[in-house]
Amino acid sequence: MDFGLVGFSGKMGKVINETFAERDYRMVLKVDGSTRSVDGIPKVIIDFSRPEALPQTIDLCVRYSSPLVIGTTGLDEDEFKKLKELSKVVPIVQSYNFSIGITLMIKMLEEFSSKLSDWDVEIVETHHVHKKDSPSGTAIMLRNAIKNDVKIHSIRIGGIPGDHAVIFANDGEVFEISHRAISRRAFSLGVLRASEWIIDKKPDFYKFSDVIYG
């Protein structure tokens, strides 16, 4: 499978390229800022860059009729509207976290958090010092799964790829559900799965949970 990668020189971009190379997939389009190299038509375009790169990514998807897998964080409402418009033309998988474990964690929270509606609940998320958005997109996804006005505590320290904990407590006990990414490969494997899944899908706006649960 030939693929394009926006943000190819970033930490996540490098891991994605390594993971795809294990399947003998070929990066035929690579973009980072003003740098662009094209060596074929991508079957799918992957974007792990910054919000300001989105217009270029959209142009490339339209030009090559390529599906999009996007994990860029920090997108605002207007940028989401642009993605929704693009999804009428090509299929899109969007997520702030392509970890299978986080996807399962969200499903669990959706199913049981209502049974703890009278408990206190807060979220703690920890990431490396270079992560710009705070709180993380993943923490927001977890809060949305709880469907409550939950306080999020954000920590930026060291080189941690991503730790997330949801803590429920009452006067008698504490219940915690957590996830720890030990390397960025946790995310690149999910990106690979999403990219293989989306290439034969009709134009629409998909979440990573659609990839996992069908």
Closest C-alpha to 104, from 92, 94, 116, 112? 112
Q: Tell whether 153 is in a known binding site.
A: no
Instruction: Determine whether the annotation assigns residue 138 to a binding site.
Output: yes
Let me know if 127 is a catalytic residue.
Answer: yes
97 is in an annotated binding site: yes
DSSP 71-138: ------HHHHHHHHHHTTTS-EEE-S---HHHHHHHHHHHHHGGGGTTSEEEEEEEE-TT--SSS-HH
Marked catalytic residue, from 14, 82, 107, 131: 131
Answer yes or no: is 33 a known binding residue: no
The residues, any chain, with a CB within 8 Å of residue 27's CB and separated by 6 or more, are 2, 3, 4, 5, 8, 17, 20
- Given 30, 127, 164, 179, the catalytic residue: 127
Q: Is 71 annotated as a binding residue?
A: yes
Annotated catalytic residue 82: no
126 among annotated binding-site residues: no
- 213 among annotated binding-site residues: no
Q: Could you tell me which residues are annotated as the binding site for NADP(+)?
A: 36
Q: Could you tell me which residues are annotated as the binding site for NAD(+)?
A: 7-12, 32, 71-73, 95-98
Q: Active-site positions? A: 127, 131
Q: Could you tell me which residues are annotated as the binding site?
A: 7-12, 32, 36, 71-73, 95-98, 128, 137-138
